[in-house]
């Protein structure tokens, strides 16, 4: 019996936008006893969140657990922002969830990976 092979997720280049959220990484050792980690700041601009009451980030770093997503804090300019400490040198797929219902990608992720569900995940290198 022949088995059907499925194609690996396809990587695509990030779209270019005039106003994009900041996803930046700075390397820092957490402690002498732990591996090197990177602080990654996740931000969505006010244009992406509009009148959102809550924004969380979920991804490979929390096993895509929607109920335990990391909440972003609303900034004075209307954007939402948080910083996570992730293991350095690893790529992480992630997405934002707005008001617990609407999925949104980072507007300026370094790259995106197609999912088996017909969508894309944002990817960041820690």
Query: Could you give the C-alpha distances from 69 to 19, 24, 28, 124, in angstroms and in order?
Result: 25, 19, 23, 17
Pairing of strands 91-98, 73-74: unpaired
For 109, half-sphere exposure in the C-beta direction (CA atoms, 13 angstrom radius) is 22
> What is the domain count for the chain?
1
Q: Is the residue at 6 inside a domain?
A: no
The residue written with tokens 């990817």 in the block is 123
Q: Which residues contact 66 (CB under 8 A, 6 or more apart)?
A: 56, 58, 97, 100
Distance between CA atoms of residues 91 and 124, nearest Å: 6
**Res 38 pLDDT > 80:** yes
- Per-residue pLDDT, averaged over 64-73, amounts to 95
Q: Is the residue at 65 inside a domain?
A: yes
Residues forming beta bridges with residue 12, ordered by sequence position: 112
**Res 50 pLDDT > 90:** no
- Per-residue pLDDT, averaged over 87-91, amounts to 94
Helix locations, 1-126, DSSP H: 46-49
Model confidence at 67, pLDDT cuts 50, 70, 90, reads very high
Model confidence at 34, pLDDT cuts 50, 70, 90, reads low
| Residue span of the structural domain in which 103 resides | 12-125
Q: Tell me the per-residue pLDDT of 117-126, one tens digit each, with 9 for 90 and over.
A: 999 999 999 8
Distance between CA atoms of residues 7 and 10, nearest Å: 8
Q: What is the CATH number of the domain that holds 71?
A: 2.60.40.10
Q: Is the residue at 5 inside a domain?
A: no
The whole-number pLDDT of residue 6 equals: 42
**Res 20 pLDDT > 80:** no
Q: What percent of the chain has pLDDT over 90?
A: 64
């Amino acid at each position: 019996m022949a088995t059907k092979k499925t194609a690996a997720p396809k990587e695509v280049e990030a779209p270019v936008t005039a106003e994009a959220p900041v996803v930046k990484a700075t390397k820092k050792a957490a402690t002498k006893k732990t591996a090197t980690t990177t602080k990654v700041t996740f931000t969505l601009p006010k244009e992406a969140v509009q009148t959102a009451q809550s924004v969380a980030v979920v991804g490979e770093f929390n096993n895509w657990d929607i109920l335990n997503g990391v909440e972003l804090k609303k900034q004075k300019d209307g954007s939402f922002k948080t910083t996570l400490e992730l293991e350095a040198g690893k790529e992480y797929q992630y997405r934002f969830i707005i008001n617990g219902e609407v999925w949104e990608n980072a507007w300026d992720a370094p790259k995106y990976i197609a999912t088996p569900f017909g969508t894309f995940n944002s990817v960041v290198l820690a």
